[in-house]
């Protein structure tokens, strides 16, 4: 029961943090929205920063698991998986609970690079980049790291624009990603079939 209470607090807190801001959301708001006593919250988290860090880490674990599972389910070949990345971003921003990318929002509110929250966000980015770069290398891309950075910049740009109300930009980002991927995989065997799968 204790672990479920902790999970409940984390889930509620992250929704509030994304909707209202990490600094603007007080502990009292989290307590009220999650339906737990303040003492219960502090039993699990010594401070608000500790709660924020736990929420960021939980979001990282959940997003990466979903992201990897969905990519592998939607395309059997690496080039095809690269092409599906912006599709997943599209699904994220059109989710009715979307209030912005928690990692981008958090990094915008914590300016110190060595703050634990920024360290956690940087680790999230590093792990995602490593995963996508691995797919790009498997697809035969000559410079997988460069392509990964380009695709991730497009994805991050979509998240920012969607938070500002411009969800329609995903179509342009998807087209740009497709061009980059086609160029990077030009000459790789069976690329044509992966693009239409």
CATH of the domain at 94: 1.10.357.10
**Any domain includes 110:** yes
**Any domain includes 83:** yes
**Any domain includes 80:** yes
Per residue in 154-196, pLDDT tens? 999 999 999 999 999 999 999 999 999 999 998 665 444 444 4
Per residue in 20-70, pLDDT tens? 999 999 999 999 999 999 999 999 999 999 999 999 999 999 999 999 999
DSSP structure string for the chain: -HHHHHHHHHHHHHHHHHHH-TTTS-HHHHHHHHT--HHHHHHH-SSHHHHHHHHHHHHHHHHHHHHHHHHHHH-SSHHHHHHHHHHHHHHHHTSTT--S-HHHHHHHH---TTSHHHHHHHHHHHHHHHHHHHHHHHTT-SSHHHHHHHHHHHHHHHHHHHHTT-GGGHHHHHHHHHHHHHHHTTT-TTHHHHHH-
**160 lies in which domain range?**
48-190
**Any domain includes 19:** no
**Any domain includes 196:** no
């Amino acid at each position: 029961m204790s672990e479920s209470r902790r999970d409940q607090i984390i889930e509620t807190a992250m929704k509030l943090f994304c909707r209202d801001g990490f600094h603007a959301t007080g502990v009292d708001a989290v307590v009220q929205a999650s339906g737990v006593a303040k003492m219960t919250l502090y039993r699990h988290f010594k401070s608000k920063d500790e709660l924020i860090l736990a929420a960021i880490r939980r979001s990282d674990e959940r997003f990466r698991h979903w992201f990897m599972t969905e990519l592998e389910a939607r395309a059997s070949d690496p080039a095809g998986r690269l092409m599906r990345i912006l599709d997943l971003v599209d699904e994220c921003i059109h989710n009715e609970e979307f209030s912005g990318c928690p990692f981008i929002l958090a990094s915008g509110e914590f300016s110190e690079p060595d703050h634990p929250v920024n360290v956690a966000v940087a680790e999230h980015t590093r792990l995602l980049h490593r995963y996508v770069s691995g797919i790009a290398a498997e697809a035969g891309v000559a410079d997988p790291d460069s392509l990964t950075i380009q695709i991730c910049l497009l994805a991050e740009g979509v998240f920012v624009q969607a938070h500002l109300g411009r969800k329609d930009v995903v179509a342009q980002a998807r087209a740009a990603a497709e061009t980059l991927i086609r160029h990077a995989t030009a000459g790789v065997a069976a690329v044509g079939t992966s693009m239409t799968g």
